[in-house]
Amino acid sequence: MWKKTTIAACCVLPLLLSCADPGTRTITWAVGKDPTGRHQALVDAFCRRHPGITVKLLEMPESSTAQHDAYVTHLAAADQSIDIYSIDIIWTAEFANAGWLSPLGGHVDTLQLKEFLPGTVAGCRYRDTLWALPWFTDAGLLFSRADILSESGSPVPKTWQQLETAAARLGAKHGMTGYVWQGQQYEGLVCNFLEVLWSCGGDLFDSTGRPSLDSPEAAQAVAIMKRMFDGNASPPGVLTYKEEEARQLFTGGQAVFMRNWPYAWALAQDAAKGSAVTGRVMLSALPAPAGRGPASCLGGWNLAVSRFSKNQADAVALVEHLTSFEAQKDFALNGGRLPTRSAVYADGEVRRAYPHFEQLYAAFRTARPRPVRPDYPALSDEIQLGLHRALAGNVTVAQALRELQERLMRMTSPAARRERGT
d(CA 135, CA 87): 9
Categorise residue 60: left if φ over 0, alpha if ψ from -120 to 50, beta otherwise.
Answer: beta
267 binds ligand GLC (CB under 6 A): no
**What residues does 5 pair with on adjacent strands?**
58
Residue of 138, 314, 330, 347 interacting with ligand GLC (CB under 6 A): 138
d(CA 275, CA 248): 8
**What character string, x for contact with ligand GLC (CB under 6 A) and - otherwise, covers 167-206?**
--------------------xx--x---------------
DSSP code per residue over 186-201? SHHHHHHHHHHHHHTT
Of 168, 153, 92, 154, nearest in space to 124 by CA: 92
Residue of 35, 157, 202, 299 interacting with ligand GLC (CB under 6 A): 299
Residues touching ligand GLC: how many (CB under 6 A)?
13
Which ranges in 252-396 belong to alpha helices (H)?
Answer: 263-268, 312-322, 325-335, 342-346, 348-353, 356-366, 376-392
Nearer to ligand GLC by C-beta: 46 or 181? Answer: 181
Minimum CB separation from ligand GLC for residue 367, in Å?
A: 10
Residues ≥6 apart with Cβ < 8 Å to 135:
86, 300, 301, 302, 303, 322, 323, 340
3-class SS of residue 144 = strand
**What character string, x for contact with ligand GLC (CB under 6 A) and - otherwise, covers 85-124?**
---xxx----------------------------------
Of 214-243, binders to ligand GLC (CB under 6 A) are 243
Choose one: 1-9, 35-43, 202-210, 297-305; the region binding ligand GLC (CB under 6 A).
Answer: 297-305
Residue of 119, 157, 289, 300 interacting with ligand GLC (CB under 6 A): 300
Residue nearest to ligand GLC (CB): 299
Minimum CB separation from ligand GLC for residue 51, in Å?
A: 32
Q: Which amino acid is at 416?
A: A
d(CA 141, CA 284): 6
d(CA 258, CA 242): 12
64 binds ligand GLC (CB under 6 A): yes
Nearer to ligand GLC by C-beta: 170 or 264? Answer: 264
Nearer to ligand GLC by C-beta: 257 or 301? Answer: 301
3-class SS of residue 136 = strand
140 binds ligand GLC (CB under 6 A): no
Which DSSP symbol is given to 60? E
**What residues does 86 pair with on adjacent strands?**
303
Largest CA distance in the chain: 69
Which DSSP symbol is given to 157? P
Nearer to ligand GLC by C-beta: 202 or 299? Answer: 299
Nearer to ligand GLC by C-beta: 191 or 322? Answer: 191
CB-CB contact of 281 with 145 (8 Å): yes
Minimum CB separation from ligand GLC for residue 297, in Å?
A: 8
Choose one: 78-86, 272-280, 296-304, 307-315; the region binding ligand GLC (CB under 6 A).
Answer: 296-304
Minimum CB separation from ligand GLC for residue 397, in Å?
A: 22
Nearer to ligand GLC by C-beta: 181 or 301? Answer: 301
- Please give the residue ranges that form the binding site for ligand GLC (CB under 6 A): 64, 88-90, 138, 187-188, 191, 243, 261, 299-301
